[in-house]
């Protein structure tokens, strides 16, 4: 199905919603206090405390109170997560546990349990997911390879969208303005009866943004239709988006000093449009549950990049993906213990076509086919001790051909495996300890194997990793605490070689560190959260261009990062929220030799928000980067003694107003 058909389906549903009277329904206090379920733990909804994994959940209330306008802005407050601006678009790179410039290729992103991470060297299209459509976001660090396959070495992020709320009818409209001529409009509706319901969310955002040649316009829509029966249900989720972005490019150190808002290449742009459909169903048979999803996703891009006088490369790509994911959950009482077996099959079919020119003529046609079988068994012993053991075997075929260059034709087949063994031990008083060991892998993407700018192919080997983690966590009333130590050792890590300027399989590397987070309510109406990460990323052996790199730091991984969030409901209808983010210094991209004696400077950013509720209205105002910190989250070493970077925005203001129909 083409994306214009997806758009038509979403718009048709929007027309249906206006035919129903609106009646808003707020969740009860009891509903807000229910423990969140975690789909990523077993690919079935369940209480997160039953399974030996450390999970961070960003709730709908967290999203409501935040200053964020995109998913990456929410995630950067989570310990272990780093975000960086690589292009000047809202689609920031998200990096779990310190993988640097290829962080998004080692962080698996799911939308309602279906993978949306790209098989290209692109960030996830975060701007296609309106915040108002999100129920919660689940972050599992260093896990997910057994259940979901490739690309989960750093961890898994599962975005769960809102479902129709039974027996309610409601709608909202929200508008906002901000600095740099930022404007956005969001609308949504929920129409549901006892068994059938529909939820729709649509958003439009445009901004000139902080830099020159950095205008952006984003339109997105999400639709969720549900039917719930006595033994199961059906769901149809659909989405469509269109994004137009001008790209300011990275500028030199001298240009930043002269005018940090200037654009390096005024003619650069990147346009993106796409859509998806996800048909799902579940059926309970006795105590067991069957479920399956069939999803389709496609994406088109059109971009232009200056190369060198008189050349400008124009690149167009089209990709499509089919996923079929049947699975079963079987509780049983083997040995008189509470056991749960989850088994499933994943079948993926991905195709890519691209063109580049006129400076280099290339027409790559890439494919990636995979089929996998996985099993995960969890046993809960007396006293609450739980043990989970899982395994996955996956067969993958990937290749590249280029009709414009008959010499470019390559294909590779590999059998890949992953496993995980995890244990959770309650300690009393709400405390529990957990530990896990496992393995994961990453399949090289089309840009790892083929260069659009040189029209050459070099098929790489899959990357493999083994990880270990020990953690301590507690849930005490409204307070939650977690501290974890982790280590990941990788072989054949896929990264850019700054000497040959091509992607290749690297010598062994290592990630290790400490993560700590806490949430608590010291006083009525006051809630606090804090997080800290200490991360090491280093090469264990090898060389670049004959220069040894053993013991060197991997670029773009800060040793220290911390965050603090505070909320205060100081009047019955008025709330103030503040966030503080600290990111320590880190090596510049391209400095794998650690020869540059300078690092990306550390920075601290403070955001504030004030919100007021009055009957059907909600008003909010805030300031981002309160103290006008001059910083950048991405910089690249360009040769002694300097660098290039993408300056981040200075202080910015915003105001919003939301009306709920009832």
Q: Beta strands of 101-168 (E only): which ranges?
A: 107-111, 114-115, 134-141, 155-161
Catalogue the E-assigned strands of 429-559. Answer: 431-442, 450-451, 456-457, 463-476, 479-491, 494-497, 502-505, 509-523, 526-539, 543-544, 547-548
Q: Do 77 and 518 meet the contact criterion of CB atoms below 8 Å apart?
A: no
Antiparallel, parallel or unpaired: β 327-332 and 251-252 = unpaired
- In terms of Cβ atoms closer than 10 Å to its own Cβ (0-12, 13-18, 19+), residue 338 is middle
Mean pLDDT by 10 residues, the chain (662 residues): 38 33 35 55 74 82 93 94 93 95 94 91 90 93 91 95 93 97 96 96 96 96 95 96 95 97 92 96 95 97 78 87 97 93 97 81 89 96 92 96 76 96 93 95 92 81 96 91 96 80 85 96 94 96 88 96 97 97 97 94 98 96 98 94 96 98 89
pLDDT for the residue 545: 79
Q: In angstroms, rounded to a whole number, what is the distance separating the alpha carbons of residues 303 and 320?
A: 18
Q: For residues 415 and 18, give the distance between their C-alpha atoms in angstroms, rounded to a whole number.
A: 51
214-240: b or e for each residue (b if 16 or more CB lie within 10 Å)?
Answer: bbbebbbbbbbbbebeeeebebbbbbb
- Amino acid 9: pLDDT: 36
Distance in angstroms (rounded) separating the CA atoms of residues 603 and 630? 8
The pLDDT of residue 13: 34
Q: Give the position of tokens 């800290």.
A: 532
* Rounded CA separation 419/240 (Å): 35
| Cα 85 from Cα 222, distance rounded (Å) | 25
- Quick one: 6 exposed, middle or buried, by C-beta within 10 A (0-12, 13-18, 19+)? buried
Q: What is the pLDDT of residue 52?
A: 66
The single-letter DSSP state of residue 262 is -
Question: β-strand 107-111 against 155-161: which pairing, if any?
Answer: parallel
Q: Is 501 helix (H, G, I), strand (E, B) or coil?
A: coil
The CA distance from 466 to 264, in Å, is: 41
Question: In Å, how far are 205, 618, 622 from 175, measured between CA atoms?
Answer: 10, 11, 14
Task: Specify the CATH number for the domain of residue 60.
Answer: 2.40.170.20
Q: For the chain, how many residues are written?
A: 662
Domain residues for 323?
3-661
As for how many domains the chain has, the answer is: 1
For residues 297 and 292, give the distance between their C-alpha atoms in angstroms, rounded to a whole number: 17
Tokens of 332: 């049983």
The answer to whether the beta carbons of residues 465 and 439 sit under 8 Å apart is yes
């Amino acid at each position: 199905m083409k994306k214009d058909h997806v758009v038509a389906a979403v718009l048709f549903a929007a027309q249906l919603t206006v035919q129903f009277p609106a009646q808003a329904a707020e969740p009860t206090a009891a509903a807000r206090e229910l423990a969140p379920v975690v789909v990523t733990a077993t690919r079935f909804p369940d209480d997160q405390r039953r399974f030996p994994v450390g999970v961070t959940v960003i709730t709908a209330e967290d999203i409501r109170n935040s200053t964020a306008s995109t998913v990456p802005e929410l995630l950067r407050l989570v310990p272990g997560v780093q975000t960086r601006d690589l292009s000047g678009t809202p689609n920031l790179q998200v990096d779990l546990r310190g993988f640097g410039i290829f962080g998004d290729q080692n962080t698996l992103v799911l939308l309602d349990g279906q993978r949306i991470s790209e098989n290209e060297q692109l960030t996830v299209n975060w701007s296609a997911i309106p915040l108002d459509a999100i129920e919660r976001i689940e972050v599992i660090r260093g896990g997910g390879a057994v259940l979901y396959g490739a690309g989960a070495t750093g961890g898994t992020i599962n975005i769960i969208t809102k479902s129709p709320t039974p027996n309610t009818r409601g709608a909202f409209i929200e508008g906002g303005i901000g600095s740099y001529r930022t404007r956005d409009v969001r609308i949504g509706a929920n129409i549901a009866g006892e068994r059938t319901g529909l939820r729709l969310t649509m958003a439009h955002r445009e901004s000139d943004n902080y830099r020159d040649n950095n205008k952006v316009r984003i339109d997105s829509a999400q639709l969720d239709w549900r039917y719930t029966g006595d033994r199961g249900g059906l769901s149809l989720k659909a989405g469509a988006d269109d994004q137009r972005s001008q790209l300011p490019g990275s500028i030199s150190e001298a240009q930043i000093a002269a005018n940090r808002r200037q654009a390096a290449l005024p003619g650069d742009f990147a346009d993106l449009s796409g859509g998806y459909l996800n048909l799902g169903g579940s059926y309970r048979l006795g105590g067991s549950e069957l479920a399956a999803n069939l999803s389709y996703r496609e994406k088109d891009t059109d971009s232009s990049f200056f190369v060198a006088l008189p050349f400008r490369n124009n690149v167009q790509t089209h990709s499509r993906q089919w996923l079929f994911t049947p699975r079963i959950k079987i509780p049983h009482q083997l040995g008189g213990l509470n056991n749960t077996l989850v088994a499933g099959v994943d079948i993926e079919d991905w195709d890519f076509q691209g063109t580049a020119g006129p400076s280099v003529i290339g027409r790559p046609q890439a494919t990636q086919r995979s089929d996998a079988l996985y099993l995960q068994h969890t046993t809960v012993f007396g006293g609450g001790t739980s043990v989970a053991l899982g395994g996955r075997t996956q067969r993958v075929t990937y290749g590249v051909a280029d009709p414009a260059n008959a010499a470019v034709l390559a294909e590779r087949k590999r059998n890949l495996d992953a496993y995980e063994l995890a244990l959770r031990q309650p300690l009393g008083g709400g405390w529990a300890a957990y530990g896990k060991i496992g393995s994961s892998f990453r399949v090289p993407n089309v840009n790892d194997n083929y260069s659009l700018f040189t029209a050459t192919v070099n098929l790489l080997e899959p990357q493999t990793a083994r990880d270990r983690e020990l953690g301590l966590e507690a849930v005490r009333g409204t307070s939650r605490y977690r501290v974890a130590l982790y280590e990941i050792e990788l072989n054949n890590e896929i990264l850019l070689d700054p000497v040959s300027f091509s992607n290749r399989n690297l010598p062994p590397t290592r990630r290790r560190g400490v993560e700590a987070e806490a949430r608590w309510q010291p006083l009525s109406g006051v809630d606090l959260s804090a997080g800290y990460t200490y991360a090491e990323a280093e090469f264990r052996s090898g060389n670049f261009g004959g220069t040894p790199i053993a013991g060197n730091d991997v670029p773009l991984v800060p040793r220290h990062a911390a965050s603090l969030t505070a909320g205060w409901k100081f009047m019955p209808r008025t709330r103030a929220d503040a966030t503080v983010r600290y990111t320590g210094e880190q090596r510049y991209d391209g400095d794998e030799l650690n020869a540059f004696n300078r690092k990306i400077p550390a920075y601290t950013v403070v955001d504030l928000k004030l919100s007021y509720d009055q009957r059907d209205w909600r008003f909010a105002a805030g300031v981002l980067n309160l103290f006008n910190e001059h910083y950048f989250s991405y910089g690249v070493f360009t040769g002694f003694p300097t660098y290039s970077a993408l300056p981040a925005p200075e202080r910015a203001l915003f105001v919003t107003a939301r009306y709920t129909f009832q």
